[in-house]
Amino acid sequence: MANNLGKGLEALIKSYSSDNKNKYLNEGIDISSIIPNKNQPRNVFDARGMDSLVASIKAKGILQPISVRKIEQSKFELIAGERRLRAAIQAGLKTIPAYIIKINNDMEMMEYALIENIQRINLNPIEEAEGYAVLSGKYNLTHSLIAESVSKSRTEISNKLRLLKLPPLIKQSLKNSEIEYGHARALLGIKQSTIMLTIFKKILKNKLNVRQTEQLIRNFRAIDKKTLKFTNLFNHNIHEVEMQNYLDTKTTIKQKENGSGKIIIQFSSNTNLNQIIKKIKK
């Protein structure tokens, strides 16, 4: 297995086939004889994507076989292809084409499932991180070896694993695609969970993109927290980001404790100044 890490399911299947340890069944195997893969990293299946796959299967059949391992006579455990298996069941199929592959242990099962999902239909970042956590925590794989297994960088693996430190509300939002991976990575730069959650809610309320979120957090971290209350600082950051995006130039809000203050808008030339004034007049 080690020699094939990072090459994907096709390379793994090919290597097993050369040793006659693997067999492709053109006629398919009985769907009722297949049990789920307990190491399946995916636990959320997009409903619209599934409907599309079911329709495709009804029209053209299964184009890509699933992978299974034999666990007893006429009984198989799914290795990879749960989405296709579920869609085949919904489409009313009784059999499904499959590769039967010799798998030595649960760690290899987990690697197969991760590779299959990452290469074919992306896992959401939390599911991906949870899969890496199992390989790291349960099977003692290093970040470097996990990276090699799924053809990603070691840094990417480490960054994904950090997502599991996020508060449950933010992790669920990432699972539901309400925020993106970039939002989550930016939020990890905030150490206090209460502040992180406040920023997260502002992201949703103001529909901030990743670039705006990163700028907001940079601004927040750059301001001396001793000069103003957090709520004022945070509102200033929100307004600064909005003004910078609209005026396309650096904008700074400075406020004194008595409430008075000033807005500083920077410009690089007379032309730039005229552009800014036109936008303000609008």
Active site residues: 82
* Token couple for 258: 């008595």
d(CA 22, CA 242): 58
Q: Give the whole-angstrom CA distance, residue 45 versus residue 177.
A: 12
> 3-state class of 42 per DSSP?
coil
* Residue 116 CA neighbour count, 13 Å, CB half: 26
The rounded distance, in Å, linking the Cα atoms of 166 and 164 is: 5
DSSP H helices, 223-269, are: 230-247
3-state secondary structure of 67: strand
**250 residue type, one letter:** K
Token couple for 17: 């086939």
How many Å apart are CA 124 and CA 247, to the nearest integer?
35
CA 8 to chain centre: 19
How far is the CA of 121 from the CAs of 46, 197, 278, in angstroms? 10, 30, 46
- Tokens 């995916």 — which residue? 42
The closest of 144, 53, 137 to 90, measured between CA atoms, is 53
∠ CA 213-216-217, rounded to 5°: 90
